[in-house]
Chain A
């Protein structure tokens, strides 16, 4: 188990860290260059659009970091509400097999 886990984690990590390695996924999209209009924005939105225009790499790293964090925050809030209501969130009955 351990060796399998290590190998697959390594492969997954490598693929996640090097999206440029993807051979097919986004080839079609790469032909078009989109530039965000920064003139409409101020504050964090201006910073965000500038980041997009300047470096897709940093933009990607931030996206990959923010998405799981937001998911976990709101998922945890839902968890708290459900356990407060009294739903058992730790077990379930096996229904078939």
Chain B
């Protein structure tokens, strides 16, 4: 069974390559569907495969750049990417990220920043999950009220509509985003991206998990456009991150390419699945992914708080939870995509 293992030229360790492809497919499907890089899912997976931590982040970012590129191209063909919005947001993201990262370094000199960062991450994830499910509940309430009044609800209606209040700000320059169907001050996406970039910089994450809901609830993008535009951002930050980490010698390109073989195919499947799963289906699944991420961090915090022998159990549970979530979600998306495609092909034949 030696052929199932490949020696990594830089890291010098033997890795089970089918595991890398399977992991790549899983995170590719989820990434293409939700519009995020998914570093929080990849790192535990790479750890289990015996990957040295020194190379985990760089390798993850390198494969992320490739997969988000192909997913952005596919989303772009569906009209899901607002490039103008993505480029404007890039300014705020880059500046915000640097401010956040510098802030963490400053806080590190003051003391125990790591624990506080984890708590901040938890609060933020809880807020995102609340926002998503409050939105779903509000939409359902609207539907119930409309049915009771004997009216028909607009099928394109949404639950939480904070963006409508924010669109009332008329600070020049005003910009029209065609794909997102949003007309607002340019300062709105800049400020939103600055804040999400700042939070990503503090938390040390890519930011897709925060930016995607921010695009929906604050900028007012339809879910599909939020996913596509976020992937465009992930693509650029991924290429930038890949360059940075590789320059520092922290990328195992052979592993990244093997993962990318699975991830680029998975990303296409995830992207096409957004055709068949309606906006609120994506939002609910996203909310569940956020809860999964929340629980995995809680388990990791418990692992640090208890004695080492028990800590290993909680650490293991966190890894199992994340990988189980990746498997379940990618399977769900894949099955939905197959069902949708089957229906589409059948309706074409009729």
Give chain A's interface residues, CB within 8 Å of chain B: 1, 4-5, 8-9, 11-12, 15-16, 19-20, 22-27, 29-30, 32-34, 36-37, 40-41, 45, 48-49, 52, 56-57, 59-60, 62-64, 66-68, 70-79, 82, 85-97
Shortest CB–CB separation between residue B200 and chain A, in angstroms? 11
Contact of B12 among A40, A48, A82, A94 (CB under 8 A): A40
Q: Give which listed residue, A4, A34, A89, A95, contacts B249 with CB less than 8 A.
A: A34
B residues in contact (CB < 8 Å) with A: 7, 9-10, 12, 54, 57-58, 62-63, 65-67, 69-71, 73-74, 77-80, 84, 87-88, 90-91, 94, 98, 101-102, 104-105, 155-158, 181, 201, 220, 222-224, 236, 239-251, 253-254, 256-257, 260-261, 263-265, 267-269, 272, 274-275, 278-280, 341, 344-345, 348
Please determine whether B9 and A45 come into contact, CB atoms closer than 8 angstroms. Answer: yes
Q: Complex: how many Å from CA A25 to CA B74?
A: 29
Q: Which secondary structure dominates where chain B touches chain A? A: helix
The contact of B240 among A19, A36, A67, by CB within 8 Å, is A19
Are B264 and A52 closer than 8 Å at their CB atoms? Answer: no
**Cα A4 to Cα B272 with chains together (Å):** 30
> In the complex where A4-B84, A59-B246, A92-B78 touch, is A74 in contact with B261 (Cβ < 8 A)?
yes
A67-B101 contact in complex given A87-B341, A96-B278, C-beta closer than 8 Å: no
- Contact, CB under 8 Å: A41 / B9: yes
Task: Select which of B74, B94, B105, B250 is within 8 A of A79 by beta carbon.
Answer: B74
Q: In whole angstroms, how far apart are the Cα atoms of A63 and B74 in the complex? A: 23
Q: How far is the CA of A67 from the CA of B59 in the complex (A)?
A: 11
Main secondary structure of the interface of A (DSSP, over half): helix
Chain A residues, Cβ within 8 Å of B77: 89-90
Q: A40-B12, A78-B269, A82-B272 are in contact. Are A29 and B98 (CB under 8 A)?
A: no
> Nearest chain A CB to B242's CB is how many angstroms away?
6
Instruction: From B158, B239, B249, B257, name the one whose CB has the most chain A CB atoms within 10 angstroms.
Output: B249
Contacts of B241 in A (CB 8 A): 25
On chain B, the residues within 8 Å of A74 by CB distance are 70, 260-261, 264-265
A8-B79 contact, Cβ under 8 Å, with A48-B9, A95-B223: no
> Given A63-B62, A66-B253, A78-B268, list of 7 further CB < 8 A pairs?
A40-B12, A45-B9, A64-B246, A72-B70, A74-B261, A91-B79, A92-B78
